[in-house]
Structure 1
């Protein structure tokens, strides 16, 4: 009898323990997370390179609950509008409920995403909450923002072009135009506007006269550390190339235009006008659905297209630049910063 009593009590205790464990288990089962609510302090941003360290935008969101005591982790996802977050830039923020971007940080990010410099680009932002890979994440509402980025200038190895064409004080390397070597192979190129009918200049390896000074003893050849001034007759916008290894240089006067079925024809150029103040070539005109290119001197010897997809960075001999919506456009070609050429096609 005593044995039966002990067995009964043991079974009861085991059953009670099992029920207790089962009850505890139900407490740790996570459910679907509640969707965070996302807001942004700005929805339209025109980024300014003179305000790089200032706040551009801050995203805030409410906490998500999965019915579980473990910490919830968050991230911000940013993608091109209409891309359905197929390839978003994701920034993990751990347990924080906010993410701020400086002007510089946001500009770097949207340049990586392929937004065109100087043109308003449409993006979509959402917050995502997770507790582990076992459970589906909870996504916030989608917040649309419009961002106009500025150009990120890469400082390539350069030669300075001091000369008589400079505003006073002329012959000043520190304020002279530059030509640059994108490949870092001692082959330099850049575009310089010479406003006078007759221009003398030299190349210097530093923004002063303390480095190597390149002159010439014959047209097309360079002399390192000696030689007379390089010279050009005729005002204009010149493509300048120099090879300090082969000690050669060339000067090609250029006049720019656009051509393509978007402009009306692949056989007729539309001239662009040089803006001396802003150092850009520009034209405003109606464009139809189609494509276009930039070319110099009415020929394809020097022409710019773009990569695919187009990103506002001209490429010599690149693909045709698409125009997907007809309308009146301002087209700008900026070749003033060597190695950092840009263009924009902005609907007016």
Structure 2
């Protein structure tokens, strides 16, 4: 860790005439005059081994906005950017990135891209200069922080590889490979239906969907649209061609094994492995063939919809033979199956695995024991997603509630609310599909009655739903009745014992762990109707359960007379009742 020299520059106050001027009042906006930048180290040697490791962090003090009248609250006009240059006075080329927090962390690959964009030779140490730039308006001179110097030795970019990013430009761990370093990348991925993604080359170039035509499978480096997959989740073989600016995805629904064993393989999206379990009669080598029929999706599968956008038409996908050949240590992928020899380590239950996670080398192995069943794909309508309810700059689909009454289309669940924009929508899609509103739920544009606590939904794109303040909430939604309710989780939940002539609510306190409550309860007699846990001190939303599992609106938990230590976790959906 370097010794930090705190250099605080005195900057002139910046004033902007406010937009509000009534009854002679004038409001002025001013920014503070200093902002200290601190780097975590002053010397870094980058290598491919540290590409995905955090190697440099920078932090700074809060730059706030002050207002001459405390009763007037303008929108936040401050924009902050990190600037990097090879010249201390920043007179040469500058690499700039917008920042929204009070720190920035680079991993090795990200910092190596900065070095490449500044023209630094690989394996040669150079001094890089970092500073913050702050602006409060287009016509106002920026304010700058102190400058931090860091010596960095970059490594040579390997343009054979490209990273698959999610819709928030975060690495997914999936990589494509260009064997001839010609900008044509290929590889296997495991994705959800409608998965939105970007592809980043080693030099930092990010490819996305063409937003001028909007047609899927066409590429550009401009705009902000994402590429997206068809609605079917599973294994896809991608050909991503940055020269022709097109990509295609070959969906592989299943693979069949023939030869010395006969089996149907299953795919695990997380590990990107195909597996099949079989019983071996003897140890030694066996010969297998692996093939199937895939469906090829490209831009010819696009349909123009009524909203002026494009859908992917599954009926236009082309049936395509898929098969593996080659050696078990270096599989080849194509349309014709070849004999593959693998070693069987034991008699009895074994698992044949095809590992596609390394884009340079696909392998086939046989391992002892049975395969672990992959997580089943969610059923249609199992979850209701709440994009916009979280802090994401993009509308991420990682907050969801689960169906609890399928016939009535009712959903409920605990959600950690921290909405960046103060509003959200509901959708039955697990990832973005901007044009199909048939599964989207919002509120009507003229709806003045719906609030963050409750309201009436419409099926389609209206106005986004107001989000509650940050915190944990129980959401209860009916898509059949088109209604929603939210309940804030407080310091207590309330246990109704289910005892005759006792309608009391008995508080159980939070443990400090999100969604968890624990305390002691005493039942004078056996619970007749079963104990239930209410979120509020009222006959409103509650959980029942059995065998340690909680269920929203579930049956009461049958307890005998006695004293119990109760622990309830509403997020995990579990409870314990230990009699003393």
The answer, yes or no, to whether TM exceeds 0.5 is: no
- Say which structure, 1 or 2, has more relative contact order (CA 8 Å, 6+ apart): 1
Shorter-normalised TM-score: what interval?
0.3 to 0.5
Q: TM-score, normalised by structure 2?
A: 0.27
Whichever structure has more strand as a proportion of its residues is 2
Q: TM-score, normalised by structure 1?
A: 0.42
